[in-house]
Amino acid sequence: MEFPNAKKTNIVHSLPTEIIIEILSRVGAASAPDLFACRLTCKAINKMSHDEKIYKKISFEHLYMHSLRNDENKSKFFDLCLQYKNPEALLRYGMVQYFTYVLLDEGLKTIDLAHAKGNVFATYLLGLLLICNVDEERKKRGVSLLLSVFHQHPIDEVVQLRGTLRDMMVSLWLNNNIVCESDELVKCDQGHLHAYDNIVDKWDYFAWRPDDLKNLCDAYLCNREAAFFLRLLH
């Protein structure tokens, strides 16, 4: 009699461990639920799926902070991702620190770490938070970060970042909704007036506008993005 898992187990043992781990890391980078499903196939796969490389790369796109903290196994999984400096885990934890626990400096540092590891959304969010900061040096860095996103990524990807920001803010328990420490956002060196209420009222956040980078000054681009962010908080 042949057991259902016999062939699977033979295949697993016939491949080098490094190859299986690489395959699992790519599965996890595409979908965490798919990685969890792989763990159920056999003990060997389950054991290898706990490799550090996998925790570093796994995607959180289909996972939600509330479910991660309410399930003991998922909570341990999230803590391991943090331990191995997974950029998406760092980003989400930084947002919880900043917006839920009101640990502003700690939250900024954690989001900054996710940015340093190449997470584009972390770069976008960090830029927005720093632009709203009263400290001029932080504000300048925020402008630089936002402009790097605008100039290094297609406009449709920036539009997707706005949608991701909106969805993630909805999923958070907001205790800190006053992130704008200054009435003035980004000063315009071209003498333009940028009252953000007027900007937001006339702007479709999710419209494709590939000519914006050519026709609008840097201050307007940053103020408009910050205005969108501030509207999400109220």
pLDDT at residue 77, rounded to an integer: 87
Cβ pair 188, 220 in contact under 8 A? yes
**Residue 73: its pLDDT value, please?**
74
Prediction pTM value: 0.83
Counting other chains too, the contacts that 151-158 makes at CB distance below 8 Å and 24 or more residues apart are: 151/213, 153/120, 155/208, 155/209, 155/210, 155/212, 155/213, 156/208, 157/120, 158/124
Compute how many other C-beta atoms are within 10 angstroms of the C-beta atom of residue 24: 23
**Main-chain dihedrals φ then ψ at residue 153, nearest 5 degrees:** -135, 150
pLDDT value of residue 176? 64
User: How much is the pLDDT for 146?
Assistant: 95
Cα separation, 172 vs 48, in Å, equals: 32
* pLDDT tens-place values along the chain, 234 residues long: 343 554 555 566 678 888 888 999 999 888 888 888 998 888 888 899 889 999 999 988 877 655 566 667 778 888 999 999 999 999 999 999 999 899 999 999 999 999 999 999 999 999 999 998 888 899 999 999 999 999 999 888 988 999 999 988 888 887 766 666 555 677 776 666 555 555 555 556 666 565 566 677 888 888 888 888 888 887
